[in-house]
Amino acid sequence: MSWPHVETNNYDRPRPLKYVTGAEISMSAVIYASTVALDDDTRRLVKSGTLLCKITSGLGINKYGPYDGTASDGRQTITEGSLCIARSGVDVTLGDRPVAGLYAHCVLDKSELTTGGYNLHGAPLTTIKAALPTCIFDD
- Say which CATH number the domain at 131 has: 2.40.300.10
Domain annotation covers residue 124: yes
Average pLDDT, whole number, for the chain?
Answer: 83
pLDDT value at 47 more than 60 = yes
Cα 50 from Cα 58, distance rounded (Å): 22
Domain annotation covers residue 77: yes
Q: What is the mean pLDDT of residues 64-89?
A: 90
Domain annotation covers residue 3: no
Strands (E), 32-89: 45-46, 51-54, 64-66, 83-86
pTM for the full predicted model: 0.83
pLDDT value at 1 more than 70 = no
* Number of domains forming the structure of the chain: 1
Structural domain boundaries enclosing 132: 25-138
CA 121 → CA 43, 46, 67, distances in Å? 20, 13, 7
pLDDT value at 11 more than 80 = no
Question: Which letter does DSSP use for residue 33 in this model?
Answer: G
